[in-house]
Structure 1
Amino acid sequence: MNQRTARRSLVVAAALAALACLQPARARAGDAEACFTASEEGQRLRDEGRLREARARFIACGAAACPALVRSDCAGWLADVTARVPTLILSAQDEQGQDVADVQVTLDGAPLAARLDGKAVEVDPGEHVLRFERAGSAPVALRLVVREGEKLRRVSARLVRPATVRAGAATPGGGAITRGGGAIAPREDQAASPPASSLLLPIALGGVALAGGVAYAALGLSARADADRLRTTCAPRCAEADVDAVRTKVIAANVAFGVGVAALGGAVAALLLRGPVPAAPAAAAVHVVPLRGGAAAALGARF
């Protein structure tokens, strides 16, 4: 080998040695940059309340490959975030109040637990919606506010079969109101037909209206007959007592008419306003005020 060839070999060897030394330095520089990035992202996520993601970043920047200063800061932040992460203990019961484990739980639409095993699960602080789902049962959604540092908070849901859920009697969590361990379902015949007691008021008012009509007719005909008799026998010098008797019958006839009309209106209103299951007994009252030459009637009702 001549002198030129030997010199070229030495140059190539020196270049290879320099490249070999440069690669670890570049790798170390890349690791340090990743550590700084993880540290910054962890602090941002922590301030946003995304504590679980922040903890993962602090674990990354606390690795042995990171600079000592970064590792020290991330170790302190990791301990703080770990203490602030809330935990929940989830449970569910069936209609009989027995614990069930084959329940899936989602947190704000994302999977949280595939099965209830009694172990605590970590969540981020804030307002969340927990949804419990079990085959053959109606799902239950619970809205809750989780606080930082809240550990081992117990959250339970009551799961019932859809057929046993009482219509219009759902609990705030979506379950059914139960009695004695079982859900209550209304009978179709009870929901379809109102109780007989709801017809008492319309029937009573209808009777009053009928009686008022009969009394109006009788008193009106009698007053008219007496007035005709006085006109043909003594008018215009009839006795004051005879004239007052005719006036009294006219007033009484008008009062009976007003009572009958008011009672009829009350009966119609009671028929229209009665429900399948009355919440409270209805009360109605007819007020009649005699006036000179007639009467005024008013119907008051309380439902």
Structure 2
Amino acid sequence: MNQRTARRSLVAAAAVAALACLQPARARAADAEACFTASEEGQRLRDDGHLRDARARFIACGAAACPALVRSDCAGWLSDVTARVPTLILSAQDEQGQDVADVQVTLDGARLAARLDGKAVEVDPGEHVLRFERAGSAPVALRLVVREGEKLRRVSARLARPATARAGAATPGGGAVAPGGGAIAPREDEAASPPASSLLLPIALGGVAAAGGVAYAALGLSARADADRLRTTCAPRCAEADVDAVRTKVIAANVAFGVGVAALGGAVAALLLRGPMPAAPAAAVHVVPLPGGVAAALGARF
């Protein structure tokens, strides 16, 4: 080997050694740059309220490959963010109030849980919409505001079959038959509505009360007119038959009035006793004795 060949071999060996030294330095520089980037992104995400993503960045910049100063800062930020991440415990019940697990939950449209297992799940703070979905049940959406540092907050949803599935066929008792043959209770508005036949008695008594009022008015006015005529024509020597006729009308008017008041009271009692009534006003009849008769007043409270 001549001198030129030897010299070339030494130069090549030196170049290879220099490259071998530069490769780890370049890798370390790239790792350090990634650490600084993760640190900056983590701080930005934390300040924007994306605590879960910020925590992942702080874990990355706290790795052993990062510079010691960066690792120290990221370790402190990681501890702070971990304490601030809220957690929820999700649960759901069926129509009978029994816990169900085959429920999918989404958070603002993104899947949060494929199945309910009773374990706490982490979410970011802020306003969210939780949607519970289960096969055969109508989905339930819940809007809630989650606060930083809120841990183990319980959120539950009651899942029921869709209204179309509950319709079914009518049963003799007024309920409905479910697709599986089970009975579904009547709706609350149906149960509160009394049958039309229960209105017959109040209507009939109301008619009697109205007729009694008309008779009282007619007989009373007639008796007063006859009495005024006797006073101006023959009093105090009027025929006994004429006086008895006036007295008979007064008595009949009072009887008609009493019958009307009694019928009115019976109609009100029948309305109050016939069953549940939506927003029924409370009514009362007041009877006051007067000279030569009685007076009545109907009061209601709304």
Name the TM tier (shorter chain). Answer: 0.5 to 0.7
Instruction: Tell which deviates more after alignment, 181-190 or 290-299.
Output: 290-299
Q: Please, which moves more after superposition, 211-220 or 168-177?
A: 168-177
Q: Structure 1: state its 5+ residue gaps.
A: none
Structure 1 residue 105: deviation in Å? Answer: 0.4
Contact 1:125 1:146 in 2 (8 A): yes
Q: 1:245, CA displacement in angstroms?
A: 11
CA distance in 2, matches of 1:50, 1:251: 90
Residues 61-103 of structure 1 show CA distances to partners (whole Å, capped at 9, x for unaligned) of 2234432211111122112322332333323333344433221
Work out the CA distance in 1 between the residues paired with 2:260 and 2:298: 11
Whether the 8 Å CA contact 1:251–1:295 is kept in 2: the answer is no
C-alpha contact 1:216 1:256 (8 A) present in aligned 2: yes
> Aligned residue for 1:87?
87
Report the TM-score, using the length of structure 1 for normalisation.
0.62
| Alpha-carbon separation, structure 2, partners of 1:240 and 1:193 | 58
- Which deviates more from structure 2 when the two are superposed, residues 206-215 or residues 168-177? 168-177
**Deviation larger for 85-94 or 140-149:** 140-149
- Over 3 Å counting, the alpha-carbon distance change for 1:233 and 1:56 in structure 2 is same
Residues 232 and 9 (structure 1), Cα distance of their counterparts in 2 relative to 1, 3 Å cut: same
Q: Is the 8 A contact 1:85 1:122 kept in 2?
A: yes
Taking only the aligned residue pairs, the percentage that are identical comes to 94
- 1:19/1:185 Cα in 2 relative to 1: closer, same or farther (>3 Å)? same
Distance 1:120 1:190, change over 3 A: closer
Structure 1 residues 104, 246: CA separation in 2 closer, same or farther (over 3 Å shift)?
same
Q: Secondary structure at the match of 2:21?
A: helix
Do the aligned partners of 1:105 and 1:113 also contact (CA within 8 Å) in 2?
Answer: yes
CA distance in 2, matches of 1:62, 1:170: 67
**Which blocks of at least 5 consecutive residues in structure 2 are unaligned?**
none
Farther-moved stretch of structure 1 (117-126 vs 67-76): 117-126
1:285–1:156 distance in 2 versus 1, CA, 3 Å = closer
1:3 positional shift = 13
**Against the structure 1 CA distance between its residues 285 and 260, is the aligned structure 2 distance closer, same or farther, given a 3 Å change threshold?**
same
- Summarize the Cα distance change of 1:259–1:233 in structure 2 as closer, same or farther, 3 Å threshold: same
Deviates more, 1:13-22 or 1:2-11: 2-11
Q: Distance in 2 between matches of 1:20 and 1:104?
A: 54
Separation of aligned partners in 2, 1:103 and 1:288: 65
Structure 1 residue 104: Cα displacement: 0.3
Q: Kindly tell me: are residues 287 and 46 of structure 1, through their superposed partners in 2, closer, same or farther at Cα, counting changes over 3 Å?
A: same
Which is worse superposed, 83-92 or 204-213? 204-213
How far apart in 2 are the matches of 1:177 and 1:107?
A: 35
Report if aligned partners of 2:89, 2:153 keep a CA contact under 8 Å in 1.
Answer: yes
Aligned pair in 2 of structure 1 residues 178, 147: CA closer, same or farther (>3 Å)? farther
User: Contact conserved, 2:103 with 2:132, CA < 8 A, in 1?
Assistant: yes
Change in Cα spacing, 1:219 to 1:146, as seen in structure 2 (3 Å) is same
Distance in 1 of aligned mates of 2:181 and 2:36: 57
Contact 2:86–2:123 (CA<8 Å) still a contact in 1? yes
Residues 195-214 of structure 1: CA distance to partner in whole angstroms, max 9, x if unpaired?
46973785276235423444
CA 1:240–1:55 in 2, change beyond 3 Å: closer, same or farther?
farther
CA apart distance, 1:172 = 32
- Alpha-carbon distance in structure 2 between the residues aligned to 1:18 and 1:104: 58
CA–CA separation in structure 1 for the residues paired with 2:267 and 2:4: 126
Are 1:258 and 1:288, in contact at CA under 8 Å, matched by a contact in 2? no
Preserved CA contact (<8 Å) 1:92 1:159: yes
Deviations 1:100-139 (A, max 9, x none): 3221001233210112233332112344332211010122
Give the whole-Å Cα distance in 1 for the aligned partners of 2:112 and 2:40. Answer: 27
- In 2, the alpha carbon distance for the partners of 1:112 and 1:162 equals 23
TM-score (norm 2): 0.62
Question: Is 1:284 the counterpart of 2:283 in the alignment?
Answer: yes
Distance 2:153 2:189 in 1: 44
Preserved CA contact (<8 Å) 2:125 2:148: yes
- Residues 199 and 271, structure 1, Cα contact 8 Å, conserved in 2: yes
SS of aligned partner of 1:166: helix
Given that 2:39 and 2:61 are in contact with CA atoms closer than 8 Å, whether structure 1 keeps it comes out as yes
Q: CA deviation at 1:23?
A: 6.9
Offset of residue 30 of structure 1 = 4.6
Tell me the SS of whatever aligns to 2:170. coil
Q: Comparing 215-224 with 263-272, which one deviates more in the overlay?
A: 263-272
- Report the 3-state secondary structure (helix = DSSP H, G, I; strand = E; otherwise coil) of the residue aligned with 1:179: coil
73-82 or 120-129: which moved more? 120-129
Residues of 1 paired with 2:280 and 2:122: CA distance? Answer: 49
Partner of 2:157: 157
Q: Partners in 1 of 2:155 and 2:180 — Cα distance? A: 22
Q: Structure 1 residues 249, 104: closer, same or farther in 2, change over 3 A?
A: same
